[in-house]
Structure 1
Amino acid sequence: MIIPIKGKVTYPITLDPSVWIFDDRKIELEHAFTNKAISEDKKDDIEQASKRWDSEVTDKAKPPVNRSIKRFEREKILKSSYVMPLDDFLNHAQIKEDATEAILIRNGENAAIPLADLYKSYFLFSKDGKPLKDNGPVHLYYKDGSNKDNPITNITGITIQ
């Protein structure tokens, strides 16, 4: 279930989609292709950062608290399908300037896509609350929804060229 990103990168990294269910950057599949959902997520991120800043300034004596997932959130996680934007991971790998494409390593035939398209993509990692085992571990969807009905499946690695 681990997906390596290697090739023309400063830092080769590995992605573990099994832990993304707990990541705040995940987006529900049904909202992934709407601009409204993306802008609301960014707004929520700004509000959360603002609250954290206010808390740090006013409550310095209090240690951070790891709040557990609420019951309704847990039920939603067990029933929903989620995607993860790839741009943060690609930025952390620090792709070299001369790189132009990404080879998606698949079971069977590999797929080459432009590097710019990879930055504008999601990985589907959870379908109906379950990890993708049959044709996974992830599927690639473009953020514009152009391959919404026909994602690239069976991706087990990425090589940047």
Structure 2
Amino acid sequence: MIIQLTGNVNYSITLDPTVWIFDDRKVAFEEAFTFQTTKEASEEDEIKKASQFWDREVYQQKLDPPVNKSISRYDKKKILEGTYVMPIHHFLKNAEINNDAKKALLVTDTGETAITLDELNQSLFLFSQDGKPLNQKGPVHVYFQDGSNKDEPVKGVQKIVID
């Protein structure tokens, strides 16, 4: 149930999707593909994101990765029954992809899928469905942020090789 991130990176890392359920960076699947359509909403969202980014960076200096400190009973039930994705860009930053890297290979149980580094950077990894880890075709399913593969995600990803 782990994923290796290797290849043209400074640091090869191992990802364990089973612990992401407690990570504050997870996103509910229903909210992952929603887009703001008005300019005002986009500007307000950008300000909010910048504020959250600043708060998160300050917080991460104290504790990395961010983990829910106190969870109410309602939130605990929601977490244990929800479907969640994790943005991969947090982990790519830690792996430090080299400047001469050109693409990424998603190694699955049925073969390989080549994608650009931008697509990988904007990918979302489905790791929990109805509060449970993905056992069939898991440990993660890869969705692109723009929703272009929402109906046909890359399933069964076991390794990511930066080329």
Q: TM-score range by the shorter chain?
A: 0.7 to 0.9
Counterpart in the other structure of 2:6: 6
Distance 2:156 2:85 in 1: 15
**C-alpha displacement of 1:35:** 3.1
Counterpart in the other structure of 1:57: none
Distance 1:67 1:142 in 2: 30
- Max radius of gyration: which structure? 1
Distance 1:109 1:46 in 2: 36
- Structure 2 residue runs without a partner (length 5+): 37-41, 60-67
Counterpart in the other structure of 1:80: 82
User: TM-score by structure 1 length?
Assistant: 0.83
| Residues paired across the two proteins, number | 146
Counterpart in the other structure of 2:15: 15
**C-alpha displacement of 1:70:** 1.1
Q: 1:105 aligns with which of 99, 104, 107?
A: 107
Distance 1:24 1:35 in 2: 21
- Going from structure 1 to structure 2, the CA distance change for 1:67 and 1:121 (only over 3 Å counts) comes to closer
Distance 2:98 2:148 in 1: 27
Distance 1:110 1:84 in 2: 21
Counterpart in the other structure of 1:61: none
User: TM-score by structure 2 length?
Assistant: 0.82
Are residues 1:121 and 2:123 paired?
Answer: yes
Distance 1:67 1:153 in 2: 32
**C-alpha displacement of 1:44:** 7.3
Counterpart in the other structure of 2:97: 95
Counterpart in the other structure of 2:153: 151
- Structure 1 residue runs without a partner (length 5+): 54-65
Moved over 4 A (4+): none
**C-alpha displacement of 1:88:** 1.1
